[in-house]
Amino acid sequence: LSQRLSGVFDKLTKQGALSEDDVKTALREVRVALLEADVSLPVAREFVKAVQEKATGQAVTKSITPGQQVVKIVHDALVDTLTGEGEPGDLKIDNPPAPILMVGLQGGGKTTTTGKLAKRLTEKNGKRVLMASLDIYRPAAQQQLAVLGAQIGVDTLPIVAGESAVQIAKRAKQQATLGGYDVYMLDTAGRLQIDETLMQEVKDVRDAVNPRETLLVVDGLTGQVAVEVAEEFDGKIGISGVVLTRMDGDGRGGAALSMKAVTGKPIKYVGLGEKLDALEEFHPERVAGRILGMGDIVSLVEKAQETIEAEQAERMMKRFQKGQFNMNDLKAQLEQMMKMGGMEGIIGMMPGMGKMAKQVEEAGFDDSVLKRQIALVNSMTKKERANPQILQASRKKRIAAGAGMEVSDLNKLLKMHRQMSDMMKKMGKMGKGGMLKQAMK
């Protein structure tokens, strides 16, 4: 995707504001990206339409391309849609004992997530947690939770043979109250598909304990199915939030967007592996980046907006066009690079540039080189910076020594400056801003 989008960037014209065509071209690709990431078609369509209206006519930040700007707008809109109320991972668990009901299809990760969440509430929040399995259909299910509880040091409700799910839930409530627990978690049974008997059972459990949180646990890789499951459970049971599991896999997590868009219920946590500490609060920015496959471009744009002052860039551009590019300009460029995370940082952020980043690393061109180059410029006089040609051998020696380096280092820097300034002159001759901006991006 990155490549496809950068192709689009190249095609886009560079003007002060985003034209309708710019936006359309970029959004076409964004729509494909959303669908590839498993976002459902109606949600993707709706989303793109909303962004289109928002993006058209927006001013383009000088240091980035219109395409990058569109991606940033799309990204922000994604984050907006994905963000739920309150802090990420917030659960309503005051008023002990607070019941948390875990629902979802079989194999979605309910039992594992129950354990993960219990561990987290115990260790991070200092809560006393009791877990109970209501899965009376699979013989080993209650045992599975007991084993898990022993592993993480969280109590489980003793198993009593022959009870119904509602009976177990009531007993859990009683035990949690008597035992002074802060939270009790009810891990329900799942089916491979949604079925009415199961739904009725979950409803009965819900009515018996009146849960503070009803968390739907769904496999984040199942895309469209996840959305249907969310709609169904929310309609019939009423969920308070979603936990997306298997987000450690290759999936792009588009289900998150669809589920949030369709149900309006917040995604609270993501599961990132089978281990019991592989649970994180849901971070909208991360998933937004993942859905677009463009997280890095977004941070590049953000950094560019942060660090490059439009006015300064403009002024510099004019100087370049006139063929004026002195050591001060070079220094400003080097400092800009430092701010943006150094050579590696900048290259690493560009799509499809991974290889080049490696070469840069191998060539030993790291931030310390930038720092030393800046130090060299610093030890020149004002006059020398404006016109480095006047440097004599004796001055070169002094400058190098002043910065703690060899004359050969200084010569390299001077050569680099000469090459860059030649390039600037050539481009200045080739015409107005277009080419130059292209080269600078």
202: Cβ contacts below 8 Å, ≥ 6 apart: 101, 103, 188, 236, 237
Q: How far is the CB of 273 from ligand GDP (least distance, A)?
A: 5
Q: Which residues lie closer than 8 Å to 199 by C-beta, 6 or more apart? A: 232, 236, 237
CA distance linking residue 340 with residue 332, whole number of Å:
12
Q: Which does 274 bind (CB under 5 to 8 A by kind): ligand GDP, Mg ion, none?
A: ligand GDP
Stretch that binds Mg ion, among 44-52, 54-62, 110-118, 400-408 (CB under 5 A): 110-118
Q: Which residue from 6, 245, 258, 299 is in contact with ligand GDP, where contact means CB under 6 A?
A: 245
Close Cβ partners of 108 (under 8 Å, ≥ 6 residues apart): 190, 217, 218, 219, 229, 245
Angle at 264 between CA 241 and CA 182, to 5 degrees: 20
Q: Which amino acid is at 128?
A: R
Answer whether 211's CB lies under 8 Å from 100's CB. yes
DSSP single-letter state for residue 37: T
Number of residues counted as binding Mg ion (CB under 5 A): 2
Q: Among the candidate windows 167-175, 202-210, 242-250, 339-347, which touches ligand GDP by CB under 6 A?
A: 242-250
For 276, list phi and psi in degrees, rounded to 5. -80, -5
**Binding of ligand GDP at residue 224 (CB under 6 A)?**
no
- 380: enclosing H helix or E strand: none
Q: With CB under 6 A as the rule, give the number of residues binding ligand GDP.
A: 18
What character string, x for contact with ligand GDP (CB under 6 A) and - otherwise, covers 97-136?
Answer: -------x-xxxxxxx------------------------
Binding part of the chain for Mg ion, among 104-112, 209-217, 319-327, 386-394 by CB under 5 A, reads 104-112
Question: Nearer Cβ to Mg ion, position 111 or 156?
Answer: 111
Residue 54: which H helix or E strand, with range? helix 41-55
Residues whose CB falls within 8 Å of the CB of residue 381, separated by 6 or more in sequence, listed in order? none
Q: Measured between alpha carbons, how far is 89 from 284 in angstroms, rounded to an integer?
A: 11
140 vs 138: CA distance, rounded Å: 6
**Min separation Cβ 106 and ligand GDP, Å:** 4
Q: Between 12 and 239, whose beta carbon lies closer to ligand GDP?
A: 239
Of 110 and 303, CB closest to Mg ion: 110
- Judged by CB under 6 A, the chain residues 185 through 204 that form the site for ligand GDP are 190
Q: Supply the minimum distance, in Å, between the C-beta of residue 23 and Mg ion.
A: 46
Q: Does 111 bind Mg ion (CB under 5 A)?
A: yes
Helix (H, G, I), strand (E, B) or coil at 214: strand
Q: Give the shortest CB-132-to-ligand GDP separation in angstroms.
A: 13
123 binds, among Mg ion, ligand GDP, none (CB under 5 to 8 A by kind): none
- Nearer Cβ to ligand GDP, position 66 or 220? 220
Compute how many other C-beta atoms are within 10 angstroms of the C-beta atom of residue 348: 18
Piece of 3-11, 222-230, 270-278, 308-316 that binds ligand GDP (CB under 6 A):
270-278
> φ and ψ at 177, to 5 degrees?
-70, -50
Which residues of the shown chain bind Mg ion in the complex (CB under 5 A)?
110-111
Which residues contact ligand GDP (rule: CB under 6 A)?
104, 106-112, 190, 217, 245-246, 248, 271-274, 278
